[in-house]
């Protein structure tokens, strides 16, 4: 049996690594790791193969950056050639990036089953490109591996047959648990002379936050105020760095000495930083999940989330981009003790094993 595993952006690598670890000892399965090249910067891609102990990609489509339509079209065109040459039995996609959508479309049109890891996740905000990718990928997939009961319920409401839906838990937590002991030895915070538990982390990359100059300037102004209370480490996503160059926000950033900008970090260094932070401010979905497992307070700079369990059981709060809500939430965090979140069902480090078992049963290999 031949499986093509599709990765395109850094969150994909965290989800694929534990699945490939489970599969590599099964001699009846031939795994092909395909990298679309959607993220091609070394800090966004290459370092993750080392940190996650992933094999180097067997195939790299090298599509690079472009608009959503152009990038998706380039992936589809190049992936179709791979499909026709390799003739896989299954295409496994993860998450909600353009690579996931593009490869699912190609596979479905060639009548090759698609397995979607992290299926059913919804923000219910169709202005997010990721939401469109999720909806279409889920409608095309033969196997939908969900990270939560919320996600399974979303698929049932969408009219997807229950026979296609498999609740397996959050595979990204598998990577976190596997890497935690190594990450904690990194002491990444010391790189900037910071003290453990006495700094904040900021990540920004969503189009709704960085593509509009007024919104981005407002957020940087708020973070500037936060940085007067405690240092803020800000690994700058390439998309955000590009917007900074376009919008002339350098003066505002440089007037905030407590705001520490750096290039994107590898998985282990970033995990080390998050695990020892006082608070995280982010618009990333994955970080909302990671902070819940780590017990680190998280302020999500959006009005919605695709991870409601991180609010119900975890450390996450939705604060949007409103200065008053953000600063009030920070005050409450500073006054509170260390939180003790409960771990959502299936977020136990064993999701990949459940996924592999279902794939083997689907193809009658077990």
C-alpha separations of 85 from 21, 63, 203 in Å: 25, 19, 39
Determine the pLDDT at residue 239. Answer: 80
Average pLDDT of span 109-137: 97
Average pLDDT of span 92-109: 97
Residue with tokens 């998280």: 298
Determine the pLDDT at residue 40. Answer: 60
CA 204 to chain centre: 13
Tell me the pLDDT tens digit for each residue of 221-236.
999 999 999 999 999 9
Q: Measure CA of the first residue to CA of the last residue in the chain; give whole Å.
A: 13
Determine the pLDDT at residue 112. Answer: 98
Of residues 74, 150, 205, 237, which has the active-site annotation? 205
3 state DSSP class of 280: strand
Determine the pLDDT at residue 18. Answer: 97
Determine the pLDDT at residue 257. Answer: 85
**Three-state DSSP string of 57-87:** CCEECCCCCCCHHHHHHHHHHHHHHHHHHHC
Measured torsion, CA atoms of residues 281, 287, 288, 289, in degrees rounded to the nearest 10: -160
In the chain, ranges of CATH 3.40.50.2000 domains = 2-170+347-362, 179-335
pLDDT above 90 covers a percentage of the chain that reads: 78
- Beta-bridge partner residues of 32: 4
Supply the mean pLDDT for the chain: 92
CATH architecture for segment(s) 2-170+347-362:
3-Layer(aba) Sandwich (3.40)
Determine the pLDDT at residue 155. Answer: 98
Determine the pLDDT at residue 95. Answer: 96
Average pLDDT of span 318-322: 94
Q: What are phi and psi of 90, to 5 degrees?
A: -155, 140
Q: Which residue has the higher pLDDT, 246 or 339?
A: 246
Residue 237 a catalytic site member: no
pLDDT at residue 248 is higher than 80:
no
pLDDT at residue 181 is higher than 60:
yes
Determine the pLDDT at residue 42. Answer: 55
CATH T-level topology, domain 179-335: Rossmann fold (3.40.50)
Distance CA 319, CA 291 (A): 16
Q: Which residue has the higher pLDDT, 39 or 270?
A: 270
Its pTM stands at 0.93
Residue with tokens 């979905």: 285
Measured torsion, CA atoms of residues 169, 172, 175, 181, in degrees rounded to the nearest 10: -90
Distance CA 191, CA 247 (A): 29
pLDDT at residue 319 is higher than 60:
yes
Determine the pLDDT at residue 240. Answer: 86
> With contact defined as beta carbons under 8 Å apart, do 38 and 9 qualify?
yes
Average pLDDT of span 93-105: 97
Determine the pLDDT at residue 50. Answer: 81
Average pLDDT of span 36-56: 75
Of the pLDDT bands very low, low, confident and very high (cuts 50, 70, 90), residue 338 is low
Distance CA 166, CA 162 (A): 8
Of the pLDDT bands very low, low, confident and very high (cuts 50, 70, 90), residue 52 is confident
3 state DSSP class of 112: coil
Residue with tokens 């994107």: 264
Of the pLDDT bands very low, low, confident and very high (cuts 50, 70, 90), residue 144 is very high
pLDDT at residue 44 is higher than 60:
no
Distance CA 175, CA 235 (A): 21
Determine the pLDDT at residue 131. Answer: 97
Distance CA 9, CA 46 (A): 11
The H or E element spanning position 45 is none
The length of the chain, given as a count of residues: 366
Determine the pLDDT at residue 39. Answer: 64
pLDDT above 70 covers a percentage of the chain that reads: 97
pLDDT at residue 242 is higher than 70:
yes
Q: Which residue has the higher pLDDT, 205 or 359?
A: 359
Determine the pLDDT at residue 49. Answer: 79
pLDDT at residue 207 is higher than 90:
no
């Amino acid at each position: 049996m031949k499986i093509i595993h599709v990765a395109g952006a850094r969150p994909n690598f965290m989800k694929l690594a534990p699945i490939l670890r489970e599969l590599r000892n099964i001699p009846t399965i031939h795994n092909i790791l395909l990298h679309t090249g959607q993220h091609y910067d070394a800090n966004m891609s290459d370092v993750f193969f080392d940190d996650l102990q992933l094999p180097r990609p067997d195939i790299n489509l090298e599509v690079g950056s472009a608009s959503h339509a152009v990038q998706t079209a380039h992936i589809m065109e190049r992936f179709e050639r791979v499909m026709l040459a390799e003739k896989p039995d299954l295409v496994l996609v993860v998450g909600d990036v353009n690579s996931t959508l593009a490869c699912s479309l190609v596979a479905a049109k060639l009548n090759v089953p698609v397995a979607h890891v992290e299926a059913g996740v919804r923000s219910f905000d169709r202005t997010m490109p990721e939401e469109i990718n999720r909806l279409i990928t889920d409608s095309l997939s033969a196997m939908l591996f969900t990270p939560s009961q919320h996600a399974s319920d979303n698929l049932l409401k969408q009219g997807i047959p229950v026979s296609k839906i498999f609740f397996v838990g959050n595979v990204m937590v598998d990577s976190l648990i596997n890497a935690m002991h190594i990450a904690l030895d990194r002491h990444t915070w010391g790189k900037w002379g910071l003290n453990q538990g006495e700094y904040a982390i900021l990540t920004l990359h969503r189009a709704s936050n960085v593509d509009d100059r007024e919104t981005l300037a407002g957020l940087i102004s708020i973070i500037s105020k936060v940085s007067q209370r405690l240092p803020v480490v800000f690994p700058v996503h390439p998309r955000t760095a590009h917007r900074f160059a376009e919008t002339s926000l350098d003066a505002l950033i440089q007037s905030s000495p407590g705001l520490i900008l750096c290039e994107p970090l590898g998985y282990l260094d970033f995990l080390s930083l998050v695990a020892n932070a006082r608070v995280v401010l982010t618009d990333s979905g994955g970080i909302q999940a990671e902070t819940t497992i780590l017990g680190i307070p998280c302020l999500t700079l959006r009005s919605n989330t695709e991870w409601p369990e991180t609010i119900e059981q975890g450390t996450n709060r939705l604060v949007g981009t409103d200065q008053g809500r953000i600063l009030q939430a920070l005050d409450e965090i500073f006054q509170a003790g260390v939180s003790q979140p409960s771990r959502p069902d299936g977020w136990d480090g064993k999701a990949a094993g459940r996924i592999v078992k279902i794939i083997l049963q689907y193809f009658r290999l077990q």
